[in-house]
Structure 1
Amino acid sequence: MIELLADNNFGDTRDGGLAGPTGLLIIVLLVIGTVLLIRNMNSRLRKLPDSFEPSDVPVSPAIPPVTPPGQDKPQP
């Protein structure tokens, strides 16, 4: 009974092993993709201004302005 359980019915597992080269190819492709994404993000971040000035766009009337606690609400 133990010999039946210990028998290798899966064939020769070392024949035609492509797991190593395939895994290496996937890892290399992921590294290349990551490097390209990082370079793209860096170039986009360099194009941004150092600071963003507040725009003169009016605040939406649907959202009331936030007042700090202890102050009176602004008059409309």
Structure 2
Amino acid sequence: MSAQETVALVLAQAPGPPQDPGGQGEDFGKSSPLGLVLLIVFGIAVVFLIRSMTKHLKKLPVVFDEEKANAAAPARVKRAEAEQAERAEAAEEAENSEDGGSAKPPPAKAE
């Protein structure tokens, strides 16, 4: 045999079994009863989460109508929007007064 044939024969041989199988001993791939219990608990939790989510999604309207949303808004939200509009008007008037227009004081807050 030549040297090339010997090298090819050595490289083509399958390696022997390793001394340390890397944690894949006798019990590798087997689960314990604790694993089954844990999977069942997770399954039950997922079922309850899905039920809760469906209940919340059923409460949502199919179409979001702006007029109905404004009518259903609490009074404090409406008051906040009104105050914001007043501030915007006051800022507009302040800009106009800087341009030479007459300045009005901002409206007093009624609480």
TM-score range, shorter chain: 0.3 to 0.5
- Which structure's relative contact order is higher, taking Cα pairs within 8 Å and 6+ residues apart? 2
Greater Rg, structure 1 or structure 2? 2
Question: Greater share of helix residues, 1 or 2?
Answer: 2
When the two structures are superposed, what TM-score results if normalisation uses the length of structure 2? 0.36
When the two structures are superposed, what TM-score results if normalisation uses the length of structure 1? 0.45
